[in-house]
Amino acid sequence: MKILVINGSPNGERSSTMHVTRAFVEGMGETFDIIDSLRADVKPCLGCFSCWMKTPGKCVQNDDMAQILERLLDSDLVILSTPLYCYSVPSSLKAIYDRLIPLGTQEQIEDGEGGTYHPGRQAINTKIMLICGCGFPNRENNIEAMDFQFDRMFSKDCPRIYTLEAPLLNTPEAKPLADNYLGYARKAGAEYKANGIISPETQALLDAPMLPPELYRQRANGS
Q: Provide the whole-model pTM.
A: 0.95
Per-residue model confidence (pLDDT) at position 222: 85
pLDDT exceeds cutoff 90 at 221: yes
Mind listing the domains of the chain with CATH numbers? Answer: 3-222 (3.40.50.360)
Q: Which residues, other chains included, contact 55 with Cβ-Cβ below 8 Å and sequence gap of 6+?
A: none
Instruction: Name the DSSP class of 44.
Output: P
pLDDT exceeds cutoff 90 at 223: no
Q: Considering the chain, what is the average pLDDT of its residues?
A: 96
Per-residue model confidence (pLDDT) at position 1: 94
Question: pLDDT confidence of 174, banded at 50, 70, 90?
Answer: very high
- How far apart are alpha carbons 18 and 36 in whole angstroms? 11
pLDDT tens-digit readout, 120-170: 998 899 999 999 999 999 999 999 999 999 999 999 999 999 999 999 999
pLDDT above 70 as % of the chain: 100
pLDDT tens-digit readout, 193-218: 999 999 999 999 999 999 999 999 99
- How far apart are alpha carbons 146 and 9 in whole angstroms? 15
Name the residue among 23, 5, 18 with its Cα closest to residue 187.
Answer: 23
Residue 207, number of CB atoms within 10 A of its CB: 15
